[in-house]
Structure 1
Amino acid sequence: MAVNVEVLEKLERKITLNVPIGDIQGEVQARLKRLAKSVKIDGFRPGKVPLSVVAQRYGNAVQYEVLNDKVGEAFNKAATEAELRVAGQPRISEKDGAAEGFADFEAVFEVFPEVKIGDLKDLEIERVNVDVDDAAIDRTVDILRKQRRTFALRGKEEAVQDGDRVTVDFEGKIDGDPFEGGKAEDFAFLVGEGQMLKEFEDAVRGMKVGESKTFPLAFPADYHGKDVAGKTADFLVTVKKVEAAHLPEVNDEFAKSLGVEAATVAGLRDDIRKNLEREVKFRVQARNKQAVLNGLLTKAELDLPNASVQSEIARLEQGAREELRQRGIKDADKAPIPEEVFRPQAERRVRLGLVVAELVRANNLQATPEQVRAHVEELAASYEQPQDVIKWYYSDAKRLGDVEAVVIENNVTEFVLGQAKTVEKTIGFDELMGAAADA
């Protein structure tokens, strides 16, 4: 018999489910019999508990369980016959006036929307390109040298310079009063690398061992220490030790110490270039992908299923609470977080998910096993033991699923860029890396 689907509002639908009471009773009896074979009740040997006793103790619970299962089966069957794509869980309630021998239920639920995507040829998307030049390689070499630098004491008459490691005692006061975190002894930091506020570094730069200085320091309004944010403190600093940095020379020995296979400077630079090109490729893909997804949203028409939005809000809220727990916030589970805080992000994610899914379905953009394998191998290539990383991905279905999702998004990106009007833009390596760090 055809399923009667009633349209309530936009994506909301309602159907009536007819469940034979005999089926419910028969399944209840079957489950009680199985339960009687294993249940333990005082005064009876295992497997010898009378069915009437089992029914008296567990009958209501089994009845409820069977009813849920039977109604669920009836709903799934009806939804399949009506070719409905159900979004979220249905709200089911019992209905009066059922025919003899039947129990009637109403199921109210949402369906996934029809997604209409406009002509992508009218879409204009900026597509960035980045070259890895020698300057980028030079900067990476300098970073590697700094990571392996050594320090040696400066002479007592030598002044502090950028790059030096300085050990100091300091004490800060606001309006003459000390404040928490404002005092330290034998505190070491590197000058010129942003480890301290600029005013502090400026004050220490040029000082010599044994010298002391008093200077004002204005804490930024957004400083992480709320008690001093936006206030000005007077600091007394005394330099106790100054060490000059010595960077290793860039030669074949240096390349060998880094584990470069070729063990030459040329081999080191080639290795750096490959790693940078791999990183650039991933970041360019991410940037172009974001431009594509933003463009797709302007071409898509669809209603959002509230069930999917609420599910995404719950997921985002759970993530926020987990972050609070990791930061040591007490009672993170009870912290008041209005769900409306997450609604814009949740609606965008649901909208994007539905649009991307429709584009994938309509244009066969699913990830192939070969594409997934190639992406995993590319991710693993930057590690010392690539095969171990590949095994790590393939040992977990969720990790592999995450890779598959990335590949699908890359397929969508390339498909849309092939259809849309693209404006090519070449940007610098530093701009790309800086934008990624700020994202």
Structure 2
Amino acid sequence: MQVTETLNEGLKRGYTITVTAAELDAKVEEKLKEAQPTVEMKGFRKGKVPMALLRKQYGQRLMGESMQEAIDGALSKHLEESGDRPAAQPEMKMTNEDWKEGDDVAVEVSYEKLPEIAETDFSKIKLERLVVKADEDSVKEALDNLASSPQAVTYEAKKTQAKKDDQVVLDFVGKVDGEAFEGGAAEDYPLVIGSNSFIPGFEDGLLKVKAGEEKDIEVTFPEDYQAENLAGKKAVFTCTIKEVKAPKAPELDDELAKKFGAEDLEGLKAQITERLEAEYTGASRAVAKRALLDELDKVVSFDLPESLVTAEANQIAHQLWHEENPEVEGHDHPEIEPTDEHKKLAERRVKLGLLLADIGQKADVKVTDQEMTQAIMNQARQYPGQERQFFEFVQQNAQFRQQLQAPMFEDKVVDHIFEKAAVTDKEVSKDDLQKAVEKLEEE
């Protein structure tokens, strides 16, 4: 077996692998001898079938297997000896397509190898981490928001006309073409005007009603209404107004705190402070991570596999095209050509992806089974009642598991670099942090 280099240019490599006819024949012979003791054939005792007959019966199939094993083995040995790590599956092509038994086999192999990446001195990377404390005003704002939430608001009866945000308690019966329909009636139903919980037009029809009134409200069901027998049809709801109630914000006291699971108001404030500072920390980390990636992009340089950059640029262009043309769901569209901007972004993504992977490998960064399980459980909560089916889907879908694992691995690598970089904390206002986050979203 012979491996001859035909291309060595940048990261591109090309080789011709030649397997001689004698080597192939010896491999087939070896397989036949290995199988001979178990083969049964009419007219012969088990294990006593002549080799010539075995070769005639199974030789052609074993020749194909032997050819593939020989080529794969030669490539594996070459990669092990050279230390090359292909950026993608190597391309393999048999050059003597008119091959017949007794001929040597010649195969062309080509690939781009992953680049060698030099060690980075992270201590020379200087970063600023924005720190925001939850001040009294922020906590008070959050408390006020809780107090005005549907969970906290109570309602008091009033004698004046109903307006937006008032609660109307009513009986109603809906009819289409004079006939009542299933699900179109209720008694003592509390409806907040402006909640958009009923079909369009219904809540507007309750504006200015008063307790004791009766009113017919005409509406048209949407064309895409879930009940097909009502979709697009006109209906009349006969309503009897029982009460009209105005919203009443609760007092900021211990009773309010208990509605949100705290023992008292001070406990609720402590929970809010902790939640706000966790949000600020998350936003600050996102800003610091972008700054770190920008710095790594600047200070680290190495050759990039063209195939990875091209694939990433095509994916970026394709994704952005669909975002601009949401009405096109499939792939029946003109060919999308990546722009220079797409290619530049692709180069950054490929570069940083390879760099973080290399740093993580050298630092032995791993996502643990426990961390993966927790991530899967977090995802499963998005499918209430279907958790079991989701877990089965994850077990059978390696690509999905990889999609879950990749950002977790990246974050662990980033944390590893943060520990070694020169990071200084800078206390700023909530508004300053918000501006920094908005700047990220603009880029």
Report TM bin, short chain: 0.5 to 0.7
Aligned counterparts of 1:104 and 1:357: Cα–Cα separation in 2 = 35
- Which secondary structure does the structure 2 equivalent of 1:93 belong to? strand
Matches within 5 A, 1:87-102: 87-95=87-95, 102=104
Aligned counterparts of 2:317 and 2:310: Cα–Cα separation in 1 = 10
- Which secondary structure does the structure 1 equivalent of 2:274 belong to? helix
Question: Aligned in 2, Cα 1:85/1:137: closer, same or farther, shift over 3 Å?
Answer: same
Matches within 5 A, 1:111-150: 111-115=113-117, 125-145=127-147, 146-150=149-153
Structure 2 residue runs of 5 or longer lacking an equivalent are 36-50, 169-190, 196-203, 211-238, 382-386
Contact 2:3/2:15 (CA < 8 Å) preserved in 1? yes
**Do structure 1's residue 19 and structure 2's residue 19 form an aligned pair?**
yes
- Which secondary structure does the structure 1 equivalent of 2:134 belong to? coil
Cα drift, residue 288 of structure 1: 0.4
Question: Aligned in 2, Cα 1:252/1:77: closer, same or farther, shift over 3 Å?
Answer: same
Residue number among 322, 329, 334 corresponding to 2:332 in the alignment: 334
- Which secondary structure does the structure 2 equivalent of 1:16 belong to? strand
Cα drift, residue 352 of structure 1: 0.8
Question: Aligned in 2, Cα 1:289/1:317: closer, same or farther, shift over 3 Å?
Answer: same
- Which secondary structure does the structure 1 equivalent of 2:350 belong to? helix
Cα drift, residue 360 of structure 1: 4.3
- Which secondary structure does the structure 2 equivalent of 1:142 belong to? helix
What is the match of residue 367 of structure 1? 365
Deviates more, 1:347-356 or 1:314-323: 314-323
Aligned counterparts of 2:269 and 2:53: Cα–Cα separation in 1 = 80
Aligned counterparts of 2:209 and 2:85: Cα–Cα separation in 1 = 75
Contact 1:87/1:112 (CA < 8 Å) preserved in 2? yes
Cα drift, residue 283 of structure 1: 1.9
- Which secondary structure does the structure 1 equivalent of 2:115 belong to? coil
What is the match of residue 10 of structure 1? 10
- Which secondary structure does the structure 2 equivalent of 1:349 belong to? helix
What is the match of residue 432 of structure 1? 434
Contact 1:371/1:407 (CA < 8 Å) preserved in 2? no
What is the match of residue 289 of structure 1? 289
Aligned counterparts of 1:328 and 1:55: Cα–Cα separation in 2 = 60
- Which secondary structure does the structure 2 equivalent of 1:114 belong to? coil
What is the match of residue 351 of structure 1? 351
Structure 1 residue runs of 5 or longer lacking an equivalent are 36-50, 167-187, 194-203, 211-239, 384-388
Q: State the AA in 1 paired with 2:9.
A: E
Cα drift, residue 115 of structure 1: 3.4
What is the match of residue 268 of structure 1? 268
Aligned counterparts of 1:154 and 1:245: Cα–Cα separation in 2 = 9
Q: State the AA in 2 paired with 1:295.
A: E
Contact 1:95/1:105 (CA < 8 Å) preserved in 2? yes
Cα drift, residue 320 of structure 1: 7.5
Cα drift, residue 265 of structure 1: 1.0
Aligned counterparts of 1:315 and 1:69: Cα–Cα separation in 2 = 34
Residue number among 110, 113, 122 corresponding to 2:112 in the alignment: 110
What is the match of residue 216 of structure 1? none
Contact 2:134/2:277 (CA < 8 Å) preserved in 1? yes
Matches within 5 A, 1:67-216: 67-95=67-95, 102-115=104-117, 125-145=127-147, 146-150=149-153, 152=155
Contact 2:126/2:421 (CA < 8 Å) preserved in 1? no
Cα drift, residue 82 of structure 1: 1.3
- Which secondary structure does the structure 2 equivalent of 1:412 belong to? helix
Contact 1:6/1:15 (CA < 8 Å) preserved in 2? yes
Aligned counterparts of 1:31 and 1:313: Cα–Cα separation in 2 = 46
What is the match of residue 258 of structure 2? 256
Cα drift, residue 136 of structure 1: 2.1
- Which secondary structure does the structure 2 equivalent of 1:76 belong to? helix
What are the Cα deviations for residues 265-307 of structure 1, in whole angstroms up to 9, with x where unaligned?
1111112222222222222111100111012111122222123
Aligned counterparts of 2:32 and 2:327: Cα–Cα separation in 1 = 48
Q: Report the TM-score when normalising by structure 2.
A: 0.58
What are the Cα deviations for residues 369-394 of structure 1, in whole angstroms up to 9, with x where unaligned?
799869969x98xx9xxxxx9xx9x9
Aligned counterparts of 1:252 and 1:105: Cα–Cα separation in 2 = 79
RMSD: 6.0
Question: Aligned in 2, Cα 1:430/1:33: closer, same or farther, shift over 3 Å?
Answer: farther
Q: State the AA in 2 paired with 1:89.
A: Q
What is the match of residue 41 of structure 1? none
Aligned counterparts of 2:408 and 2:276: Cα–Cα separation in 1 = 21
What are the Cα deviations for residues 43-68 of structure 1, in whole angstroms up to 9, with x where unaligned?
xxxxxxxx999999999887656544
What are the Cα deviations for residues 383-431 of structure 1, in whole angstroms up to 9, with x where unaligned?
9xxxxx9xx9x9996545643332112222443344xxx6846241684
Contact 2:163/2:208 (CA < 8 Å) preserved in 1? yes
Q: State the AA in 2 paired with 1:286.
A: A
Q: State the AA in 2 paired with 1:112.
A: L
Question: Aligned in 2, Cα 1:158/1:61: closer, same or farther, shift over 3 Å?
Answer: farther
Aligned counterparts of 2:60 and 2:354: Cα–Cα separation in 1 = 41
- Which secondary structure does the structure 1 equivalent of 2:266 belong to? helix
- Which secondary structure does the structure 1 equivalent of 2:111 belong to? strand
Identity within the alignment, % = 23
What is the match of residue 304 of structure 1? 304
Question: Aligned in 2, Cα 1:23/1:6: closer, same or farther, shift over 3 Å?
Answer: closer
Aligned counterparts of 1:285 and 1:75: Cα–Cα separation in 2 = 44
Question: Aligned in 2, Cα 1:60/1:371: closer, same or farther, shift over 3 Å?
Answer: closer
What is the match of residue 408 of structure 1? 413
- Which secondary structure does the structure 2 equivalent of 1:89 belong to? coil
